[in-house]
Amino acid sequence: MRPPAPDPNTSTKTARQGHLAEHVARPSRHADPAVEILDTPNLGDRSYVVHAGGRAVVVDPQRDVDRVLAVVEEHGLGVDQVLETHLHNDYVTGGLELARMLRADYVVPALAQVAYDRTPAADDDTFHTGDLAWRVLHTPGHTPHHVSYAVSVDGEDKAVFTGGSLLLGSVGRPDLVAPELTERLAHDQWRSARRLAAELDSAAAVHPTHGFGSFCSATPTTGEASSMGDQRVANPVLVQAEDDYVRELLAGLDAYPAYYRHMAPINAAGPAPVDLSPPPLARADEVARRLASGEWVVDLRARRVHAAGHLPGSLSFEGTGNAVTYLGWLIPWGSPLTLLGDDPDVLDAVQRDLARIGIDRPAAASAGGPAAWGGERLTETTPVTDFVGLAAAQRERDDVVVLDLRRRLEWEEAHLDGAVLLPLHELPEHLDEVPDGELWVHCESGFRAAMGASLLRRAGRDVVLVDDEFGRAADAGLALVRKGS
């Protein structure tokens, strides 16, 4: 890392503090940085390309680096550094490969243990890219080694890239590293957020990596854009006392995807380059063989289309939704995966999403439609209803078994009276504990319920899919048990 030229009249630290005190009144002599945002909505994350004067820095890139390369080419940029805020727990990084391709410095937190050469980023390190000055701030909490990167122009803070530290209205969860570290990291997270708020100007834009639907967020986030000044008054971590905040933070942590445990080790070892070439074609005889052997054959069509007619034993993961999180969560790690769909673009998108979490190259895939997958074997159906239909069934029968596949915190807020809780992510390991009888399966919207219903069907159970919004259950006449009641 190249330090800036020191002020001959003062220490570097004092000079920086002077800039922080003065920069509200000091006009910038250079252009503000442009921030190109690369959203990954199905994982709830963002990557960034930050540039000024033709020189750029990339922050927390996803594994599919072609998206970054397209931005770099579009703006005619030279990339000097590729930055990581931490070893990510929810996706495989593209940073190592991108830095190699662009001959850029690969900047990784100094305290992170990795198996490849990198430029270590330690607290208070500084470097320049064109007119942009970058400062490293050690912000432990999401991980012990986590850092944030503050960027300034002419001494004026313009933005801070906070990774999994300070999120918009929340913070990154502290329980992904090791159970014995969770409470300590929760306290670290509070202090790190306070440091960012104390050292950065109110006008500085806050750009987190997580918090746009990611399970790395400790609590739900708010908004799509924010400044440090906004966060000071709106983010609970900057409003509440430390012990109160930590207590509430820990009490609100819920389950997170099982594939997370594989992400940091992959990122520490150095991910292989991504391969998004088409997988082998899944022909009918091969699909039949894979189904017969118990492999995961996943149908990406709309859940009601799957319910109306599907290959027995195939699993419903609606590809236009957030299929990747739940596929990665539920499938035994390393198992062969066959993808079926009626839209080649959906197949391509799901393959890309899977590569982002380290599930490389489906064993086979087909967008040929049901006739190509098995023809006459496409005979199984799953009954579908809504909460009105469930209420009617409960009035007419006394043997209706309602299975709630939501997570425990959702259940605690409100659930159907008499329902049985079995979170979807626990279902594969607890199929033998599911109550006897026909199962009426629901979640918050029907999306997860369709996945669970197909897993139960594959296990030989009789299932009715309740495809409806949970918020309509009370209006349908169903009795709810609410938190605190």
Closest CA to 448 of 429, 425, 471: 425
Residues 6+ apart with CB under 8 A from 354: 324, 327, 328, 337, 360, 362
pLDDT, tens digit, 9 for 90 and up, residues 258-310: 999 999 999 999 999 999 999 999 999 999 999 999 999 999 999 999 999 99
Closest CA to 323 of 43, 40, 38: 43
DSSP secondary structure letter of residue 180: G
Topology agreement, domain 284-377 and domain 384-482: yes
The number of CA neighbours under 13 Å toward the Cβ of 129 is 28
pLDDT at site 16:
32
Closest CA to 357 of 475, 264, 238: 264
d(CA 171, CA 214): 11
pLDDT at site 26:
42
| 114, 270 Cβ separation under 8 angstroms | yes
Report the CATH fold assignment for 12-269. Answer: Metallo-beta-lactamase; Chain A (3.60.15)
d(CA 237, CA 265): 29
What is the CATH number that goes with domain 284-377? 3.40.250.10
Residues of the chain short of pLDDT 50, as ranges, are 1-28
pLDDT at site 377:
64
pLDDT at site 13:
32
17: helix, coil or strand? helix
pLDDT at site 293:
95
pLDDT at site 1:
41
d(CA 417, CA 473): 11
Q: What percent of the chain has pLDDT over 90?
A: 88
Q: Which amino acid is at 368?
A: G
Tokens of residue 129, six digits: 């890219």
Identify any residues that bridge with 366 across adjacent strands, giving them in sequence order. 340
Tokens of residue 70, six digits: 């397209």
d(CA 188, CA 171): 11
d(CA 286, CA 281): 9
pLDDT at site 376:
62
20: helix, coil or strand? helix
d(CA 159, CA 143): 22
Cα→Cα distances 197→89, 207, 216, 237, 318, Å = 25, 13, 21, 10, 41
Residues 6+ apart with CB under 8 A from 400: 390, 393, 394, 437, 438, 440
d(CA 424, CA 329): 9
DSSP secondary structure letter of residue 199: H
Residue found under tokens 């940029």? 77
Report the CATH fold assignment for 384-482. Answer: Oxidized Rhodanese; domain 1 (3.40.250)
Chain centroid to Cα 207, Å, comes to 15
Tokens of residue 264, six digits: 């940091």
Q: CB count, 10 Å around CB of 263?
A: 23
Identify any residues that bridge with 105 across adjacent strands, giving them in sequence order. 81
Break the chain into its structural domains and give their ranges: 12-269, 284-377, 384-482
d(CA 410, CA 344): 34
Range list of H helices, 2-148: 12-22, 66-75, 95-102
Q: Which amino acid is at 96?
A: L
95-102 vs 66-75: helix crossing angle, rounded to 10: 40
